[in-house]
Amino acid sequence: MVGSAIVRELEKQGYHNIALRTHKELDLTRQNQVEEFFEEEKSEYVFFAAAKVGGIMGNAIAKADFMYVNMILEMNVIHSA
């Protein structure tokens, strides 16, 4: 939802060279995949909106799991960006 809103706004402002990947195309928990993506794309700007989510119940049951995975996603992107 957040990512789609960012893309819509960027396109509205005239940006069309936007590099997007699905989870199946790019696993952000895998540092080597993230590094390869950034090496290929040579991005000037990075808008990060990816996250592992599980809704209210999922987040309540597995707080640490969601927090761990989301921190890995963020750190891999920050490191490579």
3-class secondary structure per residue, 10-40:
HHHCCCCCCCCCCCCCCCCCCHHHHHHHHHH
Rounded Cα gap, residues 60 and 37, in angstroms: 33
Q: Which pTM does this prediction carry?
A: 0.85
Rounded Cα gap, residues 60 and 76, in angstroms: 25
- Token digits for 78? 């920050």
Q: What does the pLDDT read at residue 55? A: 81
**pLDDT by residue, tens only, the chain of 81 residues:** 899 999 999 999 999 999 999 999 999 999 999 999 999 999 999 999 999 888 888 878 888 899 999 999 999 999 999
Q: What does the pLDDT read at residue 45? A: 94
Q: What does the pLDDT read at residue 54? A: 84
Q: Is 75 exposed, middle or buried (0-12, 13-18, 19+ CB in 10 A)?
A: middle
